[in-house]
Chain A
Amino acid sequence: MTAISTPQRRAGLVVPPWFLRHAGVLAVLLLIGVFTATSSDVFLTGANLLNVSQQIAVVAVLAAGLTLLMTAGGIDFSLGAIAAVAHGVAAQLIVAGVPDGPAVLVTLALGAAIGLVNGVMVTWFKVTPFVATLATSTALGGAALLIIGGQSVSIGDHLMMIGFGEVLGVIPVSVVIAAAVCVAAALVMRWTAFGRNAFAIGGNESAARLSGIPVVRTKLLLYTLGGLLAALGGVMLVARLGAASPGAGGLHLELTVVAAVVIGGTALHGGSGTMVGTVLGVLLLGVVANSLNLLQINPYYQDVALGAVLAVAAIANHLRGRRT
């Protein structure tokens, strides 16, 4: 037993703990921002920043669900595929003449149902989350293409409100949705028993179970919520693109989401995580992509950069975890 107290190195500092915790990501974000701003006149223009914020809105919505899930020690590799399926289903429903509102609701319900299936596999059948969601991800990747018949399905001027609407004449609706989701997730993680139970389960599932915390129900809810938010991301995707098309969502979106959450400092083994970190991770990846774009660097480097940032963040998290 190594139940010996660890010294508190940070006692006495008056910096708020969340700032200290995310100082690394924040510093990298500022660094890249300053560098891009000095190299390109476009970066700090309102149009570009709006563009960036709209691009990352979908990632942020998915990442919020994943942060909650990973805090409880779970993982979901099917979020991108659920988003792809959702954006196809929403498009086909609209093409079939279903009004926007019901179409969106049905899509969201479908996403939640898929998430529940993931949850059932993980909790009742005790399949490792990685394998369970990899299986659904693969199956849904194919399903997404089948739904749209492998072609673009245009939705005309439907869902304009979500795709191009603005609040107060400047802020895109998609950004407002993403912000609302992230704030709600942060509140859930701090103030609800459900959110706190996720921390307890991720931190020590056995102790949580013995304390009477409903471990299975909480996990089912977490996967369901993840699926629901992924479907919302899919709706935002189709609204913004004006059409469902092959290649939207899917694996690339998934990896970006996982990367953002990990960069934000959420532990892969569960027990700790913050929405502030996740939002910073999403912002960082968005800014890096935009920066590579503006600096006219070969787009193939995008994935290289994504992988590199992820590796550095994971190593930094490991070193930090070892120290405490």
Chain B
Amino acid sequence: MDVRIELAGVSKSFGGAVALREIDFAVNGGEVHALVGMNGAGKSTLVKILSGALVPDAGEVLIDGAGHGALTPRRARALGVSIVHQHRTLVPQLTVAENMLLGRLPRRAGAVDWRRAHAEAARALAALDVRVPTRAVAGELGPAQQTLVEIAREVATGGKVLVLDEPTASLGGADAATVHDLVRRLSSAGISIVYISHHLDEVLGLADRITVLRDGRRIVTAAGADLDLAGLVRAMTGERISHQRPRRDRAAGETVLEIDALASGARLAELTLTVRAHEVVAVLGPAGDGQSELFDLLSGRRRPSGGRIRVAGADVAAGDVGAALAAGLRCVTGDRLAHGLVPGLTVDENLDLTRRGLRRPWLVRWGRLHRQAAERRSRYGVATIQADPPVSALSGGNQQKVLLAKWLDAPVQACLLEEPTNGVDVAAKADIHQLVDGLADQGTAVLLASADVEEVLRLADRVVVVRAGRVVADLPVEGLSRDALVSLTVGGTAS
């Protein structure tokens, strides 16, 4: 069979961290080749190399048998490799036809030939049996239809290898099925598909071949028919000792944080849970699923579409940052540079911001500020070369520690930690895990929003699993096997 695109011995590292090690990966013409792996396994790095967005440190990218040392996104597209991202990229204000023909609208005498534009778009959609009116405004289409239009656009612009990055991540069953149908039609039309998904049952039903990545290595490539769910999960998680979960003798105390039927549009449906003092409860889901809504809803950045939040028995006003803070609830973002820290200000001043926001003093006393910051830095292990550099000059791990110290160093009732080890190295990760243990030991009710199974097993006492915005399980972590948990998050039969 003819190989369309191939990675031969590709390696890539960022700083000291190895993202991919000597990966061989090939996609045949008309094949659906699924790529699966846990968070951080290297999937996105691999996709970026396929699309020319990243240049590998070693190894080669071959397209139709020819090597491309300096592949750029533009070159890759010209050669027929295109990506449909999880976050849809249609221009929401424009019509389907305009989106389909973006940048290449047909023209006559300098003016756009609208009749031909709609005819061309309609023809491209009809060829793939996608039933969407070309005059519809893209933003008003449902998410599944938007995905279909986007795929059709890539095919119409000459895509021969399509990388579909979680195309069904936020779709329900029926919508997902229409995407699956389209993928099958594309495949029988000879178009190659690289299919990335956290939903293993859909992968098993759809893929001709499956490649499993773990820790930047290719673990196995096998025909879809030769694999089953258990085998796939084992390949993704490996045989290593699952986690060094410290023995803990703390007993959960009174209920502190109560979340009652919390909902946010289609992203999160009726989440109910309670967190007690001295307890760590995790909400686990695939990246970008329901648990990623929690930060906005609990911090008061956004008003939930339904449900209540209570801290220590008192209701917290919805959509009110001040009320959440006053109630003793601290929400620590997973996106530290967007919502957590002020990058241009120094470490010490960032550490003081929450206190300043709560106490509202008139004056800033720098001497005291630096003294208090020094204590916090040493407690949280923030290491800097200069005395007090701007936060933007720190490494990711140190920034994350500053973030945690800023929010959590004063006694707090309850806290939400969103992906607390996002983008930090192994050493910093271990430090941060100890800090979270310490929080629970002191009596804080800790809610953890995470897409990282390892971390949940390491930190949590109880886990609530969400998938496609719905709760699919609520279990104590003690005695829970890793494979069982992975199966729950990535689409096992337990739902």
Contacts and interface: CB of A to CB of B under 8 A. Distances in A.
Interface of A: 1, 3-6, 8, 11, 190-197, 199-200, 203-204, 206-214, 271-272
A204 B406 CA distance: 15
A210 B349 contact: no
Contact of B349 (A3, A196, A212, A272): A196
Contacts of A5: 393-395, 398
Contacts of B360: 193, 214
Given A3-B396, A5-B395, A8-B393, A212 B338 contact: no
Contact of A203 (B15, B321, B345): B345
Closest 8 CB pairs of A and B: A212-B357, A3-B396, A203-B342, A211-B357, A211-B353, A203-B344, A204-B342, A271-B344
B358 interface: yes
Given A11-B385, A11-B386, A199 B345 contact: yes
B135 interface: no
A8 B392 CA distance: 11
B356 A193 contact: yes
A271 B349 CA distance: 13
B297 interface: no
B485 to A, nearest CB: 26
Contacts of B343: 203-204
Contacts of A6: 392-393
A318 to B, nearest CB: 15
14 contacts: A5-B395, A191-B364, A193-B363, A193-B364, A199-B342, A200-B349, A203-B344, A206-B301, A209-B321, A210-B339, A211-B354, A211-B406, A212-B321, A213-B357
B358 A212 contact: yes
Nearest to A213: B357
Contact of B341 (A207, A212, A213): A207
A192 B321 contact: no
B28 interface: no
B476 interface: no
Contact of A193 (B339, B341, B362): B362
Interface string B309-345: 0000000000001100100000101001111111111
B356 A196 contact: yes
A194 B366 CA distance: 14
B166 to A, nearest CB: 18
Given A200-B345, A210-B301, A3 B423 contact: yes
A98 B39 CA distance: 74
A190 B392 CA distance: 20
Interface in B437-494: none
A4 B386 contact: no
B486 to A, nearest CB: 25
Contacts of A192: 362-364
A271 B342 CA distance: 9
B353 A1 contact: no
B361 interface: yes
Contacts of B168: none
A214 B333 CA distance: 19
Contacts of A191: 363-364, 366
B339 to A, nearest CB: 5
A119 B349 CA distance: 26
Nearest to A205: B342
Contacts of B342: 199-200, 203-204, 207-208, 271
B28 to A, nearest CB: 34
B45 interface: no
Contacts of B361: 193
A272 B344 CA distance: 8
Given A1-B423, A8-B385, A210-B301, A200 B353 contact: yes
A230 to B, nearest CB: 25
B197 interface: no
A207 B344 contact: no
A196 B363 CA distance: 9
Contacts of A208: 342, 353, 357
B356 A4 contact: no
Contacts of B338: 204, 206-207
A219 to B, nearest CB: 15
A192 B360 CA distance: 11
B341 A204 contact: yes
B27 to A, nearest CB: 28
Contacts of B399: 3
Contacts of B366: 191
Contacts of A209: 301, 321
